[in-house]
Amino acid sequence: MALRRPLVIAHRGDTAAAPENTLPAFAAAIDAGADGIELDVHPSRDGAPVVHHDYYLDRTTNGSGLVTDHTLAELRALDAGAWFDERFAGESVPTLEEVLSLAAGRVRLEIELKGTTLAFLERVLEAIRAADAVASVELTTGHRPLLWHMHSREPRIPTGMFFVEPWPEWMGPELGRRQVIELMTLAGASVAHLPIGIIDADFVERLHGAGMQVHGANVNDAEAIERAIQCGVDQFTTSRLDLALRMVKGADA
């Protein structure tokens, strides 16, 4: 049986080429041949969906404090590129609308919602619908109560649930696998985001049998990429985009 060809999702864009979660990083990932891009979205103080990873601004901009404490105009005035390289000095914090426009017809988007309110979810869904991007996005969040609202408000968009830890000793793999499927069913989620170390071909087959897709999370070295390919995952995120694309193409040959 031939292995399925997994989609390669660039984590925060092509972060080897440009500062993470910026338009140049997303453009570089598209140009490199990524199947999808993972990005993170927060609400500004005045409710606009903006693209930034951390809850705080300090690491990747010349601003400080919580993203959500700043208006869109204040966030747009920040420098989100100079920390990476002076060539990107003046690069701004992008809006979700800008990223949807850049990606339109070119690449899928995995959008992680960092906000927790239904008002924020509605703003995100409005932007996706306005961009006619319902068929080319996946929504994820670490805030599990929000997952059901994602599914119920826009059932056409697949939703991903994160499972970030290996099985605790008391649980073991069999109970862990059952709970993944049960929790996803309760939340209406359709994509299991799993650490690559707990994925094997049997678990992938079991999730597929339940009508769910499998996402390998943070697959960043050759061993992990090979495991993802051999296990038959549907997609995986990586910060090693060039390596992942080479290995996936090599597996196709």
**Any long-range contacts for 220-225 (C-beta under 8 Å, 24+ apart)?**
222/247, 224/196
**Tens digit of pLDDT for each residue in 105-115?**
999 999 999 99
Indicate the Cα dihedral angle 23, 29, 33, 37, nearest 10°. Answer: -90
**Tens digit of pLDDT for each residue in 168-181?**
889 999 999 999 99
**Any long-range contacts for 174-179 (C-beta under 8 Å, 24+ apart)?**
177/203, 177/206
With 0-12 CB in 10 A as exposed, 13-18 as middle and 19+ as buried, what is 251? Answer: middle
Helix (H, G, I), strand (E, B) or coil at 68: helix
Indicate the Cα dihedral angle 4, 38, 214, 169, nearest 10°. Answer: 130
Structure tokens, 150: 């994602």
Q: Specify the length of the chain in residues.
A: 253
Q: Which residues are catalytic?
A: 11, 53
**Tens digit of pLDDT for each residue in 178-205?**
999 999 999 999 999 999 999 999 999 9
Q: What is the reported pTM?
A: 0.95
DSSP 85: -
Angle in degrees, 0-180, between the axes of helices 201-209 and 222-231, rounded to the nearest 10: 50
Give the per-residue pLDDT at 166.
81
**Tens digit of pLDDT for each residue in 45-104?**
999 999 999 999 999 999 999 999 999 999 999 999 999 999 999 999 999 999 999 999
Structure tokens, 175: 């109970």
pLDDT at 4 > cutoff 80: no
**Tens digit of pLDDT for each residue in 42-55?**
999 999 999 999 99
